[in-house]
Structures are given as C-alpha cells and as structure tokens.
A = this chain, B = another copy of it.
C-alpha cells in the first residue's frame, strides 16, 4: 500500500466546490448542446477573466480532443503543424493529428520550449510542394517538462508566426500551473493578444473533465461548432463542463488551485535539491524531474507512486513527480522526510 501517488494531476476527482455546483444545478431543465444557461454563465466568467467580453469560448472534454479539433479546423489538407519533439501531440496522442490528415513537423526544443529560431529552422526545411507546408505552431504552456513561456518568449514567437503566416496555438492543459508559476510574467488576458487559439485546462486543475477553448483569431471562429460536433465532442449535456468552469472561475478558484499545485512542487524541488540532486528540466510548475540514483528510486517506489521519465546514465534516471490542487502539504512533507532518510543512510 503506497503512502501517496505523484503520478499525475488527475488522480483525484473534482474540487468540492465544483461537485457542489453540479449538485445545485442538477434538477434544472436546460437546453442541450451548449446552449444552456450554465454555458452562458461560464462563458461570461471566462470573458471577465480574459478582459474580453467578445472572446469566442467553447467547451470540450479533454486535451487530445481540443488539440485535434483546433488543428484540423485550422489546416488545409496539405498543411502541417510545427511542434517540439516533446510536444504532447507528437508523443502521446496516438496519431490523433495524423488521423485528421496532417503531419506534425518536428522542431528542436530546449526544455520542451520552442523559439522563433527553432521554428524557423523547421520551416526552412520545407521548400516546395514535394513537402507539406507548415501553417500552424503548437506550443504547450506549461510544457510537458514543466517549463513555462514568459511574456517575452510569447511575444517573440507571436511576432515570428505573424511574419510567416503561421497560426499560433497553445495547449493549456496545465495553463493554470504555468500562469501561477513564479517564472511566468504572462497573465491570462495577455494570451488573447499573443496566440491565435489556446485552451484553459480544467481536467488537470480541479475539474472532473473539461477544457475551455478560446479562439482569438477571427478567421478561425467561423463554423467552429461544426468541427466540435464532427469530432464527437459536442456534449448533449454541455452543462456538465460549463458548470465546472463556473466553479473554477468563481472567486479565482482556478488560480488558487494552480498556485497550490505549484507551491507543492516547489517544496518538493527544494527538499530534493537540498540533498544535492539535480533536475532534468528547469521546471517551475507542478511537474518536476529530479535525477536520482536507481537504488534510491527503488526505495522511494516502495512508499510512493511516480513514473520513471528517462534514463540519464548507467545508474541514474530522471523521474517525474506531479503535484496537484489535491496534494496535501502533509504528504509532501512526509515524502521529503522519507527521501531524506533514504539519502542519509544509503
């Protein structure tokens, strides 16, 4: 029996206030397919958080779904999307993008982040009609390695994309953790100016399910609901996701939860580095990747759940520890105590 699991940020159900809201609104009759009053309310709250009363907001159930719908709606059949080798669409979505007919053009990255230079390098490998034509850029914020894009980072990429006629799309599965990171100076409203489409991740930040897609570029708004429906993502009870976003965007719950997740990761990070260990990436969010001796990893695995990430050398691996809105501070303390004990006596 493990003491606690740091596998991911979707191990628990939903934040209690979200469950309460589901309960409270349960008996009302509502129109289907997102035309309900809860979807309207959630949209208003997101508009307020964005400072854009006319932002185009759509709710879907998960990140892979959001990614494939947005990208397939953006691209003509000969166009590709540029992504980092570590990008979720390239690594962990079972060919969802290719199944809609599009190649992912890989760009080099450091710590999971793209730059104008790496995008340009990928672009320059595409010279004519014997190749696909990159038309969109996919970035994750936070990245799959826990790092974040600063406002300056985003401005630079945004400007480059604009100059090269590329749409910029941000996967925000962990957007809360990114924006609440001490390394991030970008605010939620900034994203309306800096990317063409992004989504606000609910599933990994306290909801049972649900991501809110925000479309900034006017050209990309046309007929978007057709794409949601065509990919099987238009829920009959749209209220389910909307209600959760009402919860998340009431009294700043979304940010409170993300801040907690980040804070727990910082504690872990500090405790681990105090004992002299380094990290595989410069994460500043709720995923951290300490590089540990294999023996220590084995010891920790007897008490805690977490995933191996990558082998670093013959005797060391980077592991992935994930905290969440639900991670009790006491469990983090307990982990660090056990960690300290293992490292003192080994």
A69 within 8 A of B: yes
A253 within 8 A of B: no
Contacting residues, chain B, for A99 (C-beta < 8 A): 77-78, 100-102, 230-231
Which of A91, A94, A130 has most B Cβ within 10 Å? A94
Residues A77 and B232 in contact, CB atoms below 8 Å apart: no
Contacting residues, chain B, for A130 (C-beta < 8 A): 33, 91-94, 229
A234 within 8 A of B: yes
Contacting residues, chain B, for A23 (C-beta < 8 A): 19, 23
Residues B203 and A237 in contact, CB atoms below 8 Å apart: yes
A95 within 8 A of B: yes
Q: Given B65, B72, B209, which contacts A77 in the complex, CB threshold below 8 Å? A: B72
Q: Given B92, B203, B239, which contacts A13 in the complex, CB threshold below 8 Å? A: B239
> Contacts A77-B99, A92-B131 hold; do A64 and B232 have CB atoms under 8 A apart?
yes
> Contacts A29-B5, A229-B64, A231-B232 hold; do A78 and B223 have CB atoms under 8 A apart?
yes
A25 within 8 A of B: yes
CA–CA, A64 to B132, complex, Å? 14
- Taking the closest CB of chain B, its distance from the CB of A133, in whole angstroms, is 6
A313 within 8 A of B: no
Contacting residues, chain B, for A228 (C-beta < 8 A): 129
Chain A residues 12-43 with CB under 8 Å of chain B are 12-14, 16, 19, 22-23, 25-33
Residues A65 and B232 in contact, CB atoms below 8 Å apart: yes
Contacting residues, chain B, for A132 (C-beta < 8 A): 94-95, 98, 226, 230
CA–CA, A185 to B239, complex, Å? 35
Residues A233 and B13 in contact, CB atoms below 8 Å apart: no
Copies of this chain in the oligomer: 4
Residues A103 and B93 in contact, CB atoms below 8 Å apart: no
SS class, residues of chain A in contact with chain B: loop
A208 to chain B: closest residue by CB: B240
- Taking the closest CB of chain B, its distance from the CB of A306, in whole angstroms, is 12
- Taking the closest CB of chain B, its distance from the CB of A209, in whole angstroms, is 5
Interface string of A53-97 (1 = CB under 8 A from B): 000000001111111110011001110100000000001111110
Q: Given B27, B98, B133, B225, which contacts A102 in the complex, CB threshold below 8 Å? A: B98
Contacting residues, chain B, for A305 (C-beta < 8 A): 29
A325 within 8 A of B: no
A158 within 8 A of B: no
Interface string of A1-14 (1 = CB under 8 A from B): 00011011011111
Contacting residues, chain B, for A11 (C-beta < 8 A): 29-32
> Contacts A98-B102, A131-B94 hold; do A13 and B27 have CB atoms under 8 A apart?
yes
Q: Given B65, B67, B236, which contacts A233 in the complex, CB threshold below 8 Å? A: B65
- Taking the closest CB of chain B, its distance from the CB of A40, in whole angstroms, is 16
Question: Could you give 25 example pairs across A and B, Cβ below 8 Å?
Answer: A5-B29, A10-B32, A13-B22, A33-B130, A65-B232, A68-B231, A73-B76, A77-B227, A80-B95, A92-B131, A95-B103, A96-B229, A96-B230, A98-B98, A99-B101, A99-B230, A129-B228, A129-B229, A130-B229, A133-B226, A203-B237, A208-B237, A208-B240, A209-B237, A209-B240
A-B pairs with the 9 shortest C-beta distances?
A65-B232, A13-B26, A78-B226, A95-B132, A94-B229, A129-B225, A10-B236, A11-B29, A64-B232
